[in-house]
Structure 1
Amino acid sequence: MGMPQIPIERGFFDPDSIKNLARLYEHVSAHERAVAEYEYDPVKSPRLMEPLLLKRSFEPKLFDDHLFLKLFECISADAERAISGLFRVYIDGMLSPQYENEVLSTKPLPGEGFEAYVSRATGGRKFGIVVNGVEQWSDTLARLAARLFAPIVEAQGAARSTIEVTLFIGNYGYTPFGIHIDDPYTSVVHFHAGPTTKEMTLFGIKEFHLLNGVTKNCFQPQKLIPHGRTFAIESGDVFLLPPHCYHIGSTEGFSIGVAFALSKYSGATMTKQILQRAVGEKHMTGSLDDVIGRAQADGVSLSDWLRRMGNEYVVQARSRRNLRYSFLCSTEPEATPWQLWERDPDFPLSQLEEGDDLLLFARGNRVRLARNELTLRLVAALPYTAFSIEQLYSALHGDVSRDALSTLVHQLVRVGGVRRITAAEEDCQLLHAPHCHSLVSNSMDIDPSWARRLVVMSEQLSVCAHLPGVMPGYDQVREIIAEMFTRFTPQELPRSRAWVDGGQLYTITDALVELADKPGLTLAQRLAKACRSLHYCVTVNGLSAWHEPFAQHMQIRMLDPLFAELNGAPACGTDFYTFIGNYGYTPFGVHDDTDQSLLWHLGPASKVAYIWPRARYVELTGGTLATVDYEALLPYAQRYELRPGDLLFIPMGDFHVLETRKFSCTMGLTLFPEDVRLECAEALRLLAPDERALQAMAQAPVTLDQWASLRRMAVQSNGYMITPPQLDSMWGVVPDAASLRRCTLRIRPSCPLRTAEVAGRQVLFVRGRVIWGRPNALFGHLCEALASGEQIPFEVLEQQLSGTVQAEAVVDLVRKIATLGGVLIEQH
C-alpha cells in the first residue's frame, strides 16, 4: 500500500505547486517493507535503496525571493549561533569565515532580488552557501517539511526519525567539499529551485574506493565523474539521494536547492542522543559530587532518570513533528483579552507529568508549570478551536486570574504552541468554536441588525431598499475577493465574464488564470492586464467556492440572519458574485434580473445605481426589453449613491443600471426563486455528469418533483450556496485510520449531510457534491448521528455501527466526506 499525498492548505502553499510526491512516498514505503524483517543497523549491515528523480514535481515559484530574503534576515539576527557551524560560505571552493560574516552583515538593497543580494555580498566571486537547520529560522519551511514528509516519518517510525532542512545556494561548480558520503542513517530529498540545472553524480561505496583508494573524499572529481551515475536535476525536479552513496553536485550557474534530510536512527544511536540531551539538563551541572548529591536528595535512581529523559525526548520530538531543530519565534504579540488564539495546527502542544512538574512542549520548546489540579484543568481547557483569554477565564469559572491566563498564553505564543489568529482568519476560526458565536470580530464586520432592517424597509423583499454603512468591514471583504483572483488554475477555472468598450471579452478566463500566479499586482492592475484595457467590467460568480473562511463567514453573518427573517431559505439556493471595474454604465444596459439581488458595495470609489420599478419601466418604454438609451430614462429613475459599506436591494423584475466612473468592487448575493425546470436540469448535471450515468438515469422512475427535490438536498448540504467549495480551498490534513480513532467528528449545522435512494442506488450529498453507494444503512446513520452539529467521538460512531458495517468502510467514508469539506475532524 502506498502512502497518500499530503494536501497543503490554501494560504500556506498552493497545493497545485507540489505534485507527484506519491511516487516518493511509495518508493520509501516499499523499501521499508522490504527491509522490515532485518535488524536495522545501517553501519554494519546497510540495506541499499535506489535513488529517485521526479521530473517537474513542483513549481519553482514555490520558493521565491521573499522566502529567502526573510530567512536571511532571521539568520542575521541570530548570526553568532549561525556561524558556529550551521551557516557556511565557500569562496572559490574554500571555506571562508570572513564571508560568513560579510553575508550576514550585508543588508539587501531596496527592490534587490535574492540572487543579486548574495552575489553582491560575496563580492561577485564563485560562491557556495550551505545553511543547515533552516527549520529553526523559517516557519514556512518548517511547516512544509512537517507536512510533506509526515508519510515518510510514519513509514520509518516516528520515534526514530528526524527531519532537517538545508539550503545549497550559489554558482560554486562542484560541491566544495568534493565527492563525499553522508551519514548512513540519512536520505536527502532535494527540491531544486534552479534556475540553473544541477548535476548530481553518485557512486557505490565499493565502486568509489576502487576508483579513489581508501581516501574518503575526492577533491579532483573530474576523473571520477565518467564512472558514476549522473542525474540532471532541473528547476522543479525532486531528487531522492539515498544513504550509502558517495556523491557530488555541480552547478556552474546560480541555483538554489532546498534539501530535506530524513534520518532514521538505530536504537543505539537514539540512546546516545537521549543521553547527550540528558547530560545537558540543568540538574546535571556542577561537580560530580553536586550531581550525585542532588540525585540522592531527590531520591532519583539511574533507571528513573533515564526513563524520564527518554519520555521527554519522545514528547519533545512529537511536539515539533520530528524536525531536528526547534523554531525560534521572533515576535511576541500582546495577549489581549478578546484577541483570538488557537493551538498551532501543525505542531501539537504536548504535555508530560513528572512528579511535581507539568511540562508543556511546544515545537520542541519546554514550559514548566507546577503540577496541581488547577494547572491540569487549565491545560485541558485549552480548546482545539479558536479561543480568547476571556473565554478561558469563563471556562475555568474565574479560578485562574486573567493576568495568569494572559501570561500563560504569552508564554505559549513565544515558544510556538499557540498562534494568533489574523484578522483574515478570525471570523472563520471563531465560527468553528463551540459557544463562541457571541463574539464579534472586526474582520469582514457586518451590522448584526442588517437583515431585520432590510426585510422591514423592503417590505418583505418587494420594493427597493438602501441601507447605508451596514458593512464596516468592506475593506477586508474586498481584499479577500482580490486574493481569490490568485487561486485560479487551468484545472479550476473561474466563472468569469468581462466587457471592454461595450463588447464582451471572451478571453478573460484564460487571462485571469495566466495572471493568477503573478505576485505584487493590485486587483485593479491584475484586471487591467487581463482585459488589456484601463476601462473594463469583470464579473465572477461562485465566490464562496474559492475561499472557505469567506464562505463560512458569509453563512453566519449574512445567510443565516436573512433566512431567519424570511422564515426559511430559498429552496433553489443562493450565489455570491462580484462585479469590478471602472466601466461607466453597466455594459449590457438597463436590464432586469430573474432573481432577487442584494448588492454590497466594497469601494474604494462610490458608484450610482438607477432603478425603475417594473411597472414604471413598462410605462416609460412600452415593453420589457433591455436598452442602452440611458439618457432618456435617467430623469425618471430612483437614484442611489452607493458608498463603501452600503447595501442596495433590487427586487426581481425591477429594471436597473449602475454607473461606475472610478475603480470599485461590488459583491452581489443572488436569491434564486423556485424554478422546477432549472432544478431538474441542475440535478441531472450533478447526478448524471457523463453519458453513461445519463443513460442509467433515463431508465430510473424519477418524477420531475423528485429531481427538483434531489437538487434542493444538494444545495442544502452546502448551506444553500449553489457552488460547492473548490477542494483545495478546504483546510487541514485528513487523518489516517489510527489517528481518526483519536478524533471527534462534527458538521456545521448549516451544511447537513443528506441522503436519498435514486435508481436503486444510495446517494450522499456532501457540500453540494455526491458520493454514490449501494443501498446501505451507513449513509443514513451518519446523517442522523451528526445532524445536531455536536461532537461525536469517531470510536463511538464505529461502535454504533459494529456488526452492521465493516470498520474499513466507516473510515473510508468519513475520510472521503472530510476531503469534500463535509465534516470537521478534531483531536480529543
Structure 2
Amino acid sequence: MLAPLPTPAPAPQGEPSLALPRSFWKDFAKRHWNREPAVFKQPFGNRAPTTGQVYEALLDAGERVRRGEYTMPLRFFIEHEEGPDGLPYYSMLMSLSNHMPRPEDGNVEGYLARLNDILGGKRFGIVFNRLQMYQWTHWQQLSSFLSGLYEFVGVPLGNNESCIFFGNYRYTPFGIHKDNSHAFNLVVEGRKSYSLWPFEMLASREEVPKDPSLIQRPYSLFMKDDAEEKEVLSRAAFIEASAGDVAYWPVSYWHRAEPTQGLHISISVSACSAPPMFTSMAPPHAWPDQLRATDLPGKRSWQVPAQVRSALRQRGQRKALLAAERESTIAWVRYLSAGAVDAAPPEAKEAPLTPTEWIRAHPERPIVCVPLPGKELLVAALGRSSPLPASAPVRRRVEQLVSSLNAGKPLQVEALEQAFFSRLPARAFKREAFRALLDDLVRWRAVQRCPPPGRKSH
C-alpha cells in the first residue's frame, strides 16, 4: 500500500499550492483510484500545510463562533474512557466559545495547556468541515490539488471539500464508518494510523442495510462491546502516515483512525460521489454524477456542460418549472465556476475601485457568462454570481468585458468603463451597475488590484 514518491509540482508564483505533477496523478488513477488504499510519502515537499496554518484557521473559527457567525461546520468532541460496554465514548459540545482557540492563547501550546485545564485532562477532537469556505489560502490549496485529480479520473460531482481533524483523541469520534466520498488524508502533525475494511467484509453485518447503493453512501457501525470490536479489528488492514504524508482510501472502504500518541492534525480532502447538495433542494431529477475536467470553466469560451443542460431542459416549460430551471442553472454555474469545490471561498474585504486603478483576472480561474430565461445574463466566478438584466447590446458588452478580463492582463478601470459605454444608449445600462459588477468581481476574488504595466508591485 506504500505508493512511489512523486516529484512535487512547482507552485504558481505568489499562490499557495498543493498541485502534484501529471505523472503522479496518471499513476494514481491507474493503480489506486477506486481500487485500494495507499500512503504517499511527503508528496508536497516544503509546500505541505503547517500546524501554524491549521491553528490560525481554528483561531479564526473560534472568533467567528464568539461573534455568533456560525457553528454548523464545527464539532468539538470530548472522550470519556470507560463506557458501560467497556468502550470509550464521545460527547459533543454545543457551546464552543470557551473551547476554541483564543488570541490570548498565543500558540498551539498555549491553547492545549488551557484546554487541558478546562477538560481536566480528557482527550478531545475538533472536526471543522468546509475549511475552504473560510480560508482563502486553503481554498487555493484545495483547488490546485483537485485539479490534477480531475484531469485523470474526471470530476466527481458532489460536496468536494476539506475538513480539519485536530486533537489527541484515540479513535475517530464517530467510530467505524464509511463516507460517500473518496478520502485523501493530509497529515499535518503527529502520526495517524487508520484501520480499513473493504465494503464486502463488513456489509454482511446485521445492522447494515442490504442495499447495493450503500457502497456509495455514508453509514456507521455500532460495536456492542469490547469483544466485538476486537473481532472486527482482527480483520482490518492498517496503514500509517506521518507529518507531510497523504493517505488515500476509496469511497467503498470502512475506516477508523486508531490510537496514536500526542497531538495529531490532519486535513481530509473529500472527492464526493453523491450529487451536489443543492440538487436536493430542487424537484427530484436525474443529474450527471461525473463530468470531464474539460467541462469546467477554462481558458476557452465556456457554457454549461451538455449533460447538465440536458437535465435542466427536461423540467418542462410551465412557469413554475422554468423558475426552478433558472435557480438550478444558477446553482450549477456557481458550483462549476468554483471548480466543483463545495462552497465559494470567503469574500475579500476591499474598498470600491477607483477609475484610475488597474485590475487583472487570474487566467486559470475564468469569469463566465451564461444566459438565463427572461433576458438575463448570469456573471459568475469562484462560486459566486450576479444575474444582470441584459438586452442584446448589453449582453454583448458584458461578454466582451469578461473576455478582456479573462485574458489575465492588467486593465484600467476607467478604460474598461469607457469601452463598455461607447455608443451604448444611455438608458441601456447604468454606470453604477457597471461599477458594482467590477466591485463584485473584486469581492469574489475573481479580479484583483495590480500595478500598471511596467511598474512592479511593492
Please classify the TM superposition score into its range, dividing by the shorter chain length. Answer: 0.7 to 0.9
Q: Name the amino acid aligned to 1:414.
A: R
Residues 143 and 88 of structure 1, relative CA distance in 2, 3 Å threshold: same
Alignment match of 1:374 (pick from 376, 394, 406): 394
Q: Tell me, in whole angstroms, the C-alpha distance in 2 between the residues paired with 1:420 and 1:118.
A: 39
Structure 1 residue 199, shift from structure 2 partner: 0.3
Q: Name the amino acid aligned to 1:413.
A: V
Structure 1 residue 174, shift from structure 2 partner: 1.1
Aligned pairs (5 A) from 1:492-511: none
**Match of residue 96 from structure 2:** 100
Residues 401 and 307 of structure 1, relative CA distance in 2, 3 Å threshold: closer
Q: Tell me, in whole angstroms, the C-alpha distance in 1 between the residues paired with 2:156 and 2:200.
A: 32
Alignment match of 1:12 (pick from 12, 15, 18): 15
Q: Name the amino acid aligned to 2:134.
A: W
Q: TM-score, normalised by structure 1?
A: 0.42
**Match of residue 88 from structure 1:** 75
**Match of residue 44 from structure 2:** 58
Residues 259 and 275 of structure 1, relative CA distance in 2, 3 Å threshold: closer
Q: Secondary structure at the match of 1:26?
A: helix
The answer to whether 1:241 aligns with 2:241 is no
**Match of residue 186 from structure 2:** 191
Residues 127 and 29 of structure 1, relative CA distance in 2, 3 Å threshold: same
Q: Tell me, in whole angstroms, the C-alpha distance in 2 between the residues paired with 1:178 and 1:405.
A: 53
Residues 397 and 213 of structure 1, relative CA distance in 2, 3 Å threshold: closer
Q: Tell me, in whole angstroms, the C-alpha distance in 2 between the residues paired with 1:20 and 1:53.
A: 17
Contact 1:200/1:248, CA 8 A, preserved across alignment: yes
Q: Secondary structure at the match of 1:102?
A: coil
Q: Tell me, in whole angstroms, the C-alpha distance in 1 between the residues paired with 2:21 and 2:52.
A: 25
Structure 1 residue 209, shift from structure 2 partner: 5.3
Q: TM-score, normalised by structure 2?
A: 0.72
Percent identity, aligned pairs only?
A: 19
**Match of residue 588 from structure 1:** none
Q: Secondary structure at the match of 2:29?
A: helix
Contact 1:146/1:321, CA 8 A, preserved across alignment: yes
Residues 98 and 31 of structure 1, relative CA distance in 2, 3 Å threshold: closer
Q: Tell me, in whole angstroms, the C-alpha distance in 1 between the residues paired with 2:175 and 2:7.
A: 37
Q: Name the amino acid aligned to 2:175.
A: G
Q: Secondary structure at the match of 1:173?
A: coil
Q: Name the amino acid aligned to 1:27.
A: F
Q: Secondary structure at the match of 1:224?
A: helix
The answer to whether 1:75 aligns with 2:61 is yes
Contact 1:19/1:57, CA 8 A, preserved across alignment: yes
Q: Tell me, in whole angstroms, the C-alpha distance in 2 between the residues paired with 1:159 and 1:310.
A: 18
Q: Tell me, in whole angstroms, the C-alpha distance in 1 between the residues paired with 2:328 and 2:182.
A: 25
Q: Tell me, in whole angstroms, the C-alpha distance in 2 between the residues paired with 1:94 and 1:81.
A: 25
**Match of residue 201 from structure 1:** 195
- Of 363-372 and 403-412, the range deviating more from structure 2: 403-412
The answer to whether 1:323 aligns with 2:341 is yes
Residues 96 and 161 of structure 1, relative CA distance in 2, 3 Å threshold: closer
Aligned pairs (5 A) from 1:100-139: 100-104=96-100, 106-109=101-104, 112-117=106-111, 120-121=114-115, 123=118, 125-139=122-136
**Match of residue 263 from structure 2:** 254
Structure 1 residue 230, shift from structure 2 partner: 0.5
Q: Secondary structure at the match of 1:366?
A: strand
Q: Name the amino acid aligned to 1:357.
A: E
Contact 1:200/1:247, CA 8 A, preserved across alignment: yes
Q: Tell me, in whole angstroms, the C-alpha distance in 1 between the residues paired with 2:58 and 2:348.
A: 13
Q: Tell me, in whole angstroms, the C-alpha distance in 1 between the residues paired with 2:178 and 2:94.
A: 27
Q: Name the amino acid aligned to 1:192.
A: V
Q: Name the amino acid aligned to 2:15.
A: F
Q: Tell me, in whole angstroms, the C-alpha distance in 2 between the residues paired with 1:203 and 1:87.
A: 27
The answer to whether 1:175 aligns with 2:162 is no
| Cα deviations by residue, 1:451-480 (Å, 9 ceiling, x for unpaired) | xxxxxxxxxxxxxxxxxxxxxxxxx4xxxx
Q: Secondary structure at the match of 1:103?
A: coil
Q: Secondary structure at the match of 2:104?
A: coil
Aligned pairs (5 A) from 1:551-630: none
Alignment match of 2:440 (pick from 367, 391, 411): 411
Aligned pairs (5 A) from 1:774-793: none
**Match of residue 312 from structure 1:** 330
Q: Secondary structure at the match of 1:172?
A: coil
The answer to whether 1:420 aligns with 2:408 is no
Residues 4 and 256 of structure 1, relative CA distance in 2, 3 Å threshold: closer
Q: Tell me, in whole angstroms, the C-alpha distance in 2 between the residues paired with 1:165 and 1:208.
A: 27
Q: Name the amino acid aligned to 2:74.
A: F
Aligned pairs (5 A) from 1:299-698: 300-301=318-319, 304-305=322-323, 307-354=325-372, 355-372=374-391, 373-382=393-402, 383-384=405-406, 385-397=409-421, 403-421=432-450, 426=451, 430-431=453-454, 441=455, 443=456, 476=458
Q: Tell me, in whole angstroms, the C-alpha distance in 2 between the residues paired with 1:13 and 1:253.
A: 28
| Cα deviations by residue, 1:663-716 (Å, 9 ceiling, x for unpaired) | xxxxxxxxxxxxxxxxxxxxxxxxxxxxxxxxxxxxxxxxxxxxxxxxxxxxxx
Residues 14 and 358 of structure 1, relative CA distance in 2, 3 Å threshold: closer
Structure 1 residue 99, shift from structure 2 partner: 5.4
Structure 1 residue 60, shift from structure 2 partner: 6.6
| Cα deviations by residue, 1:728-769 (Å, 9 ceiling, x for unpaired) | xxxxxxxxxxxxxxxxxxxxxxxxxxxxxxxxxxxxxxxxxx
Q: Name the amino acid aligned to 1:406.
A: R
Q: Name the amino acid aligned to 2:279.
A: I
Q: Tell me, in whole angstroms, the C-alpha distance in 2 between the residues paired with 1:10 and 1:417.
A: 17
Contact 1:60/1:235, CA 8 A, preserved across alignment: no
The answer to whether 1:276 aligns with 2:264 is no
Q: Tell me, in whole angstroms, the C-alpha distance in 1 between the residues paired with 2:386 and 2:17.
A: 34
Q: Tell me, in whole angstroms, the C-alpha distance in 2 between the residues paired with 1:81 and 1:95.
A: 23
Aligned pairs (5 A) from 1:751-766: none
Q: Tell me, in whole angstroms, the C-alpha distance in 1 between the residues paired with 2:438 and 2:247.
A: 41
Q: Tell me, in whole angstroms, the C-alpha distance in 2 between the residues paired with 1:11 and 1:390.
A: 27
Structure 1 residue 344, shift from structure 2 partner: 4.0
Structure 1 residue 396, shift from structure 2 partner: 2.4
Residues 69 and 410 of structure 1, relative CA distance in 2, 3 Å threshold: farther
Structure 1 residue 67, shift from structure 2 partner: 2.2
Q: Tell me, in whole angstroms, the C-alpha distance in 1 between the residues paired with 2:268 and 2:8.
A: 19
Q: Which runs of 5+ in 1 are unaligned?
A: 33-47, 280-298, 432-440, 445-475, 477-828
Structure number with greater Rg is: 1
Q: Secondary structure at the match of 1:419?
A: strand
**Match of residue 217 from structure 1:** 221
Alignment match of 2:148 (pick from 151, 156, 160): 151
Structure 1 residue 218, shift from structure 2 partner: 4.2
Q: Secondary structure at the match of 1:331?
A: coil
Q: Tell me, in whole angstroms, the C-alpha distance in 1 between the residues paired with 2:389 and 2:7.
A: 41
Q: Tell me, in whole angstroms, the C-alpha distance in 2 between the residues paired with 1:262 and 1:229.
A: 22
**Match of residue 304 from structure 2:** none
Residues 388 and 78 of structure 1, relative CA distance in 2, 3 Å threshold: farther
Q: Which has the higher contact order (CA 8 A, sep 6+)?
A: 2
**Match of residue 576 from structure 1:** none
Structure 1 residue 24, shift from structure 2 partner: 4.5
Residues 363 and 74 of structure 1, relative CA distance in 2, 3 Å threshold: farther
How many residue pairs align between the two structures? 380
Residues 182 and 158 of structure 1, relative CA distance in 2, 3 Å threshold: closer
Structure 1 residue 369, shift from structure 2 partner: 1.1
Contact 1:342/1:418, CA 8 A, preserved across alignment: yes
Q: Which runs of 5+ in 2 are unaligned?
A: 1-5, 80-88, 209-219, 285-316
Structure 1 residue 144, shift from structure 2 partner: 1.3
Contact 1:201/1:247, CA 8 A, preserved across alignment: yes
Q: Secondary structure at the match of 2:201?
A: helix
Q: Name the amino acid aligned to 1:127.
A: F
Contact 1:129/1:169, CA 8 A, preserved across alignment: yes
Residues 65 and 52 of structure 1, relative CA distance in 2, 3 Å threshold: closer
Structure 1 residue 172, shift from structure 2 partner: 0.5
Q: Secondary structure at the match of 2:370?
A: strand
